[in-house]
Amino acid sequence: MSNLTQPSNLKIIAGGVIGALLGASALYILQDSPSMSEDSTASGEKKPLYWVAPMDANYRRDKPGKSPMGMDLIPVYEEDAASGDVGPGVVKIAPHVVNNLGVRTAPVELKNMHSAIETVGYVQYDEDQLVHIHPRVDGWIEKLYVKAAGNPVEKGQPLYTLYSPQLVNAQEELLIALKRNNQSLIAAAKDRLSALQLSQAFIEQLIKTGKVQQTITFYSPQSGVVDGLKIREGFYVQPGNTLLSIGKLDQVWVEAEVFERDAALIKKGLPVSMTLDYLPGEEWAGVVDYVYPTLNNKTRTLRVRLKFDNPEHQLKPNMFAQVVIHANKAESVILVPKEAVIRTGKQDRVVLALGEGQFKSIEVNIGRVDQGHIEILDGLSEDDVVVTSAQFLIDSESSKNSDFKRMTHDEEPTAVWMEGKINSVMAGHRMTNITHGPAEAWGWPEMTMDFTVADSVDINALEAGQTLHFEVTKTAEGDYEVTGIHIMSEPEDNAEQVSSATVSGVINAIDSSTRILNISRSPIEKWNRPAATMDFVLAEKIEIADFNVGDPIIFTFEIRDDFIITDISLDTSEANGDESHGDDADHAQHSQSRHHE
């Protein structure tokens, strides 16, 4: 039994030894492969593409350093470079996911927009060519030649025959004037007959025959169609009655209405196309003839009069028509497909395709809308590309943190106004240190920084502690300088202004216990004050033992509750004897002068 198990044990031991040797050799190979370890480490590290200034993305360097504002440059990596110039909210999608989502894009177009304003209207007579027939005298309709409205008539065709005593009397007046051979009466009688709408041929016939006609026939002044026939044979008529109207159909009007939002696009002379249901396939071309000056206060629509030629008289008054007013503008505008715009009610936006699988939602301002396109007033440029399919899904992700702005360096202003507080002023270097609020136009947060002061700004007007509005302009060298100021408030320490003056004088008396010096001072020209002798209190910082009675001095004092000497020195240019004064006169003048000041 033991002889059988011994070979088996030997095989197990040999296998274990071989496995240990193989494991040790593999470990040795991995440990002795520094290149693999280094490559692995290198692959896990990001190498910056360049370094950029925190406040100015245009300031780039190939190594770490300081920006012109003294701030550390920030490294930009490959991922950052792809989206750093377009702001937050960029969504990156892998190519295969883009295909799976069915994302489609379309370029922004710059072209003329065809604004087709669709509306309806009613055909009417051309009222410029509509004639109304009225009698000029009282009378009765003896015969009516036109029997019904809508009948066509030709120019010169008889319309009706009228009996009127006034017309009979007018004819008799002319015959009487002819018998008397009174030229003035003849001319007056002819004018009266013409005013009563009797033709020149009728008047000449009356003169020739000398016979008065009891009934007179009136004729059509133009060819057309009878409209609104309001008389019959035997009717009594008088001036003011409208007997009938005659309208032409060679040209017709169409009265249409457009919505208030389209009113600004409607102009006289715009081309118009029209179709009618009763003549499918036919289209008439016309123009806008007149735009009415007022809107309908109930329907909020604007009336528009259109004019169409109607040579075959196919267009009939009161027909219902569909019209399209073509309101094209001459200038080119930025257009995107209608489906590309996401309209939320409070904001309109599109998804911008940035390339390399990157997308971002941005806000746009829209203008006119036609059947397939929307005009973009602001937010896009000619070379942009927008998403037209699956944009709602992308927008739902991008809008979480998007600023909805299309960040371009061209839009950044060169100067901004800010509010801040002056910490210090270095007049010799024309620099000032200011703690300012945020500047949204440049993306600056609230911070403290140094600014150079332009030569156009009075640096002497700046003091530490002032709050101000100030304009900062970016120079061509990339520096920032203050080019305009508006002082809002002065420093709190200067809220209580202290008057001071520097004069010469002579010490008359010294009281060490109260630190009061009686001094005869010289005149103060800036205050227009004469010379006087008065008491002054010596500031605590000045050693009173350094001065004696009779010393000529130059001193500066401030007017507070007392006259406080803040600076004093001996005046070696004056002789002591020339500046002595009597005690009695000094004290009398001192009392009077102190009260005066």
The SS3 call for residue 231 is coil
Give per-residue pLDDT as tens, 383-441.
899 999 988 888 887 777 666 665 554 457 889 999 999 988 888 788 899 999 998 88
Whether 195 shows a pLDDT value over 70: the answer reads yes
pLDDT value for 586: 42
Tokens of 262: 């389209």
For residue 131 the two structure tokens come to 């004639």
3-class SS of residue 166: helix
For the domain covering 413-491, report its CATH number.
2.40.50.320
- In this prediction, residues 129-145 reach a mean pLDDT of 92
Residue 596 pLDDT > 50, yes or no? no
Q: How many residues belong to the chain? A: 597
Q: How far apart are the first and last CA of the chain?
A: 135
Q: What is the pTM of this model?
A: 0.47
Answer yes or no: is pLDDT of 297 > 80.
Answer: yes
Question: What is d(CA 483, CA 254) in angstroms, rounded to the nearest whole number?
Answer: 63
CA torsion 119-125-127-129 (nearest 10°) is: 140
Q: What is the rounded distance in angstroms from the CA atom of residue 294 to the CA atom of residue 283? A: 29
Domain ranges of the chain: 50-83, 91-112+332-406, 135-241, 251-326, 413-491, 499-596
- For residue 115, what pLDDT band results from cuts at 50, 70 and 90? confident
Instruction: Quote the crossing angle between the two packed helices 200-209 and 165-180, to the nearest 10°.
Output: 60
User: Hey, what CATH class is 91-112+332-406 in?
Assistant: mainly beta
Q: Is the domain defined by 499-596 classed in CATH 1.10.10.10?
A: no
Question: Is residue 14 within 8 Å of 45, Cβ to Cβ?
Answer: no
Average pLDDT over residues 461-478: 88
| Dihedral (Cα; 99, 103, 109, 112), 10-degree rounding | 130
Q: Provide the pLDDT for residue 61.
A: 81
* pLDDT of 589 strictly over 70: no
Q: What is the CATH number of domain 251-326?
A: 2.40.30.170
Domains 135-241 and 413-491 share a fold: yes
Structural class in CATH, domain 135-241? mainly beta
Mean predicted lDDT score pLDDT of the chain: 81
